[in-house]
């Protein structure tokens, strides 16, 4: 079996990882890679370890030569390409935020713009460990982002099992490497700004990814308190670590809830008691790891880690691709 694929937005950090993975995937053949700013160049000019693939502008991509496309595009630019591809019978793995929210009004609330393709919604949310039923055979999958994946893996088992103290805030202190901010030059992402620094940003209830996290937690139909989400920028290139503080009703039931949730999962590990999750567990792998630390009778600390470019983006997209095409889920990972 071999699926012909195209990758939109191949020169960003996520795009580069996705090319690397798909280039080595036994059942995928890369037919095109796009870039607006570097069209006409080779992908190797963007990244010396990349395969020597010619970059084309999105408008020139030969959609008729592929069966599936991956979209690593900014939000608002991604959904229109998804619509175009689907209209031509090409399946879509969208790594942008455009298709993650079921309700276009919620999209507008958080992204301050009308949804570019509301007719496509809703779309299956591609976090396989929390719900892979809708993914096999799907024509389009919204692949979630790095913060959402890290936080949902750390909190969904608690919500689903009704373990949270009603009304108590659910606090997530998250730290991310800088590649999450993308490859477009910005002064605050310069090496000389980040080196030796550490900064919170959009803390509290301000970060856009709250919307998709809450949407997915709400599916459990179980109450949870106000979700507080405080991201910080780490002086490293990749990796996310989320430290979650949760007031729980039955500390004794916590470990089983997580172990049941992820039993048999090849890409999510619940670490043994006493071992704390660190970026070193997961960086440059497609895996997530979770540690559980009871801090008091009712205060649980969950640490959740993953590589923001892999389980938080590119490898999760490949995982969704494998499920979509009904291949073994970890093929090529």
Q: Which span (78-86, 102-110, 124-132, 190-198) binds a second copy, by CB under 8 A?
A: 190-198
CB of 91 to a second copy, least distance (A): 30
Q: How many residues are listed for the chain in this entry? A: 333
Residue 301 CA to its chain's centroid (Å): 22
How far is CA 33 from each of CA 57, 72, 177, rounded to the nearest angstrom? Answer: 9, 11, 26
- The answer to whether 146 is a known catalytic residue is yes
Query: Which tokens is 63 given?
Result: 């959609």
State the Cα–Cα distance between residues 76 and 60, nearest whole angstrom. Answer: 19
State the Cα–Cα distance between residues 218 and 201, nearest whole angstrom. Answer: 25
Query: Which tokens is 135 given?
Result: 């993914």
Which of 23, 102, 193, 214 contacts a second copy by CB under 8 A? 193
Which of 75, 207, 208, 281 contacts a second copy by CB under 8 A? 281
Interface mask toward a second copy for 20-59; x: CB under 8 A: ---------------------------xxx----------
Q: Is 324 within 8 Å of 91 (Cβ atoms)?
A: yes
Which of 27, 173, 214, 265 contacts a second copy by CB under 8 A? 173
The verdict on 296 binding a second copy (CB under 8 A) reads yes
Smaller CB distance to a second copy: residue 76 or 236? 236
Which of 62, 205, 250, 273 contacts a second copy by CB under 8 A? 205
Smaller CB distance to a second copy: residue 5 or 242? 242
Q: Is 239 within 8 Å of 124 (Cβ atoms)?
A: no
Which residues within the stretch 143-172 sit at the binding site for a second copy (CB under 8 A)?
168-169, 171
Q: Is 69 within 8 Å of 113 (Cβ atoms)?
A: no
Of 68, 72, 146, 161, which one is the catalytic site residue? 146
């Amino acid at each position: 079996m071999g699926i012909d694929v195209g990758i939109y937005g191949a020169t960003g950090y996520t795009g580069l990882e996705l090319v690397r993975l798909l280039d080595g995937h036994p059942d995928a053949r890369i037919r095109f890679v796009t870039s607006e700013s570097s069209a006409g160049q080779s992908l190797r000019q963007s990244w010396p370890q990349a395969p020597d693939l010619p970059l084309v502008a999105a408008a020139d991509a030969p959609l008729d030569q592929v069966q599936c496309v991956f979209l690593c595009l900014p939000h608002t630019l991604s959904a229109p390409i998804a619509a175009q591809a689907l209209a031509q019978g090409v399946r879509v793995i969208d790594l942008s935020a455009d298709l993650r929210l079921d309700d276009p009004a919620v999209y507008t609330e958080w992204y301050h713009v009308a949804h570019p393709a509301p007719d496509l919604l809703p779309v299956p949310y591609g976090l396989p460990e929390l719900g892979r039923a809708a993914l096999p055979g799907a024509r389009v999958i919204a692949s979630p982002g790095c913060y959402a994946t890290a936080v949902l893996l750390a909190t969904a088992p608690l919500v689903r099992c009704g373990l949270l103290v009603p009304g108590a805030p659910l606090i997530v202190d998250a730290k991310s490497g800088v590649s999450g901010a993308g490859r477009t030059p910005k002064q605050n992402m310069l090496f000389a700004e980040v080196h030796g620094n550490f900064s919170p940003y959009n803390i509290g209830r301000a970060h856009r990814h709250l919307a998709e996290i809450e949407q997915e937690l709400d599916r459990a139909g179980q109450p949870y308190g106000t979700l507080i989400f405080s991201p910080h920028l780490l002086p490293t290139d990749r990796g996310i670590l989320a430290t979650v503080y949760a007031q729980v009703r039955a500390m004794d039931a916590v470990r089983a809830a997580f172990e049941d949730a992820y039993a048999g999962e090849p890409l999510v590990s619940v670490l043994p008691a006493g071992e704390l999750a660190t970026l070193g567990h997961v960086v440059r792998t497609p895996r997530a790891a979770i540690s559980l630390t009871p801090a008091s009778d009712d205060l649980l600390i969950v640490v959740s880690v993953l590589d923001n470019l892999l389980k938080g983006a590119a490898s999760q997209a490949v995982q969704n691709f494998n499920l979509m095409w009904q291949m073994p889920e970890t093929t090529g990972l």
